[in-house]
């Protein structure tokens, strides 16, 4: 049996999210005493916790999550560890020079997950403001390589969020972005990534349970 | 590349759910005009659409979804087709006699998905009232076989919902129940089932994106 590694942060009532997003409420709707069973109401942003972005997030004519083939969310993936055994300091620019040694892992249609160590700031306000951040040149470098999926342990790829998403999600590029991953320090260099979105119709993103399968 | 089959129903604003559950709202929270990006607020029951049940659903001291090992949601699975090429009439009792020819597929720790054809009633009121239904004897027969996961294309295993869940989720049995599956007519006899819950902490169930991997 292969080993499974959970790459998702826990989803907890009231935990922090992006400042402009709806908050997360995980509330008791019914109990064994009231209904005969325990039942929960879930209310959250499509970008709460570990989640993915579809092109529709930044392009009104871009694909929604249900229009993306399932194999874009499942398959062989490479880890790019930008700070082995440690972590990048807050606000570190992630440059082309830092990615270039890993160039062979950025293959057309392939899946790449990069690790900065920023997971340690999860559920603090700084998590959403001070994360290591892709330069626009690095985003262009990645976009040119036409990978199919880019995952990361930061909540979004870049503080220049609009320009960066336009590069990575734009027409003809349309990289699936998997954000706020956890436990990347447990990953080997190669693994199978599983990260299917909920089957939300016509929408921009989805919280996911991301899991690595390791032989 | 293996073939992937989507086993999940679409999640759509206002679609029908269990009558006592909170309704599903999939609403626009922000747009490119208002925020610079499209963003969605999701509000639903932990048992909306294709979903799974943990023992906590019916037992206050039962395991919650985050307490169940990930390999219970991923691995080799068998299809038990109770109506090949057709469907069981509404309210058909599913008896031990109907399961017994498939007995070899019910192995300790294994995963079994049964097909009744009831998917065709999805999103109608009858879906939640007139489904083919496990007899309590059949539930006991399944529980004794100590399988690890039981999936089905009905919204819940039995009209005798309380007694049936007590049998299947009870102490020492604790079968993961995957309910309201779709597209089971596309499955071969054997496949790999993927159906991880969201990483909701301490709760009773989760909507899932269920997918079959077929060689």
Q: Hey, what domains does chain B have and what are their CATH numbers?
A: 3-214 (3.50.30.50)
A44 with B46: Cβ contact below 8 A? no
pLDDT band at A102 (very low <50, low <70, confident <90, very high): very high
- Distance from B128 to chain A by nearest Cα, in Å? 16
- Per the DSSP assignment, residues forming a β-bridge with B76 are B192
| Residues B140-198 pLDDT 10s | 999 999 999 999 999 999 999 999 999 999 999 999 999 999 999 999 999 999 999 99
Q: What pLDDT does B57 receive?
A: 98
For residue A186, the model assigns a pLDDT of 98
Q: How far is B71 from chain A (nearest CA, A)?
A: 7
Interface test with A, best of B196, B201, B207, B210 (most A CBs within 10 A): B196
Q: Cα–Cα distances in Å, from A108 out to A91, A100, A145, A203?
A: 29, 16, 6, 26
Q: Tokens 């570190």 sit at which residue?
A: A92
What's the pTM value of the predicted model, to 2 decimals?
0.97
Above 90 in pLDDT, residue A29? Answer: yes
Task: State yes or no: pLDDT of A76 exceeds 90.
Answer: yes
Sheet holding A25-30, edge to edge: A25-30, A39-45, B39-45, B25-30
Residues A168-196: b if buried by 16+ CB within 10 A, e if exposed: bbeeebbbbbbbbbbbbbebeeebbbbbb
Cα B118 to Cα A19, A165, B86, distances in angstroms: 43, 42, 10
Measured between alpha carbons, how far is A213 from A208 in angstroms, rounded to an integer?
Answer: 16
Q: How confident is the model at residue A120 (pLDDT cuts 50, 70, 90)?
A: very high
B92-144 pLDDT, tens digit per residue, is: 999 999 999 999 999 999 999 999 999 999 989 999 999 999 999 999 999 99
End-to-end CA distance of chain B: 8
CA distance B15 to A209: 23
Contact A44 B49 (CB under 8 A): no
Residues A211, B57: C-beta atoms closer than 8 Å: no
**Would you say residue A1 has pLDDT above 90?**
no
> For tokens 């995963």, what's the residue?
B111
pLDDT digit string (tens) for B202-211? 999 999 999 9
pLDDT at residue B1, as a whole number: 79
* B21 burial type by CB count under 10 A (0-12 exposed, 13-18 middle, 19+ buried): buried
Q: What is the pLDDT of residues A9-22, one digit of tens each?
A: 999 999 999 999 99
Instruction: Give chain A positions within 8 Å (CB) of B30.
Output: 20
Say whether A50 and B207 touch across the interface (CB within 8 A): no
Nearest to A42 among B37, B46, B162 (CB): B46
Which of B114, B147, B200 lies closest to A38, judged by CA? Answer: B200
Helix (H) or strand (E) holding B78: strand B74-81
Residues of A in contact with B207 (CB under 8 A): 42, 198
Q: What is the DSSP string of A187-203?
A: --SEEEEE-PPP-BTT-
């Amino acid at each position: 049996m292969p080993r499974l590694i959970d790459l998702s942060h826990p989803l907890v009532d009231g935990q922090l999210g992006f400042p402009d997003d709806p908050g997360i409420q995980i509330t008791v709707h019914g109990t064994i005493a009231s209904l005969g069973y325990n039942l929960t109401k879930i209310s959250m942003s499509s970008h709460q916790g570990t989640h993915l972005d579809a092109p529709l997030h930044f392009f009104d004519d871009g694909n929604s999550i249900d229009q993306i083939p399932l194999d874009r969310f499942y398959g062989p993936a490479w880890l790019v560890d930008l700070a082995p055994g440690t972590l990048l300091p807050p606000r570190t620019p992630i440059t082309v020079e830092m990615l270039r040694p890993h160039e062979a892992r950025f293959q057309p249609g392939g899946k790449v997950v990069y690790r900065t160590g920023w997971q340690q700031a999860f559920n603090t306000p700084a998590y959403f403001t001070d994360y290591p951040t892709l330069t626009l040149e690095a985003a262009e470098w990645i976009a040119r390589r036409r990978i199919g999926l880019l995952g990361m342990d930061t909540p979004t790829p870049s503080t220049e969020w609009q320009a960066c998403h336009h590069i990575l999600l734009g027409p003809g590029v349309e990289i699936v972005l998997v954000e706020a991953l956890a436990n990347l320090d447990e990953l080997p260099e190669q693994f199978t990534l599983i990260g299917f979105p909920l089957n939300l119709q016509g929408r921009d993103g989805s919280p996911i349970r991301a899991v690595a399968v390791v032989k």
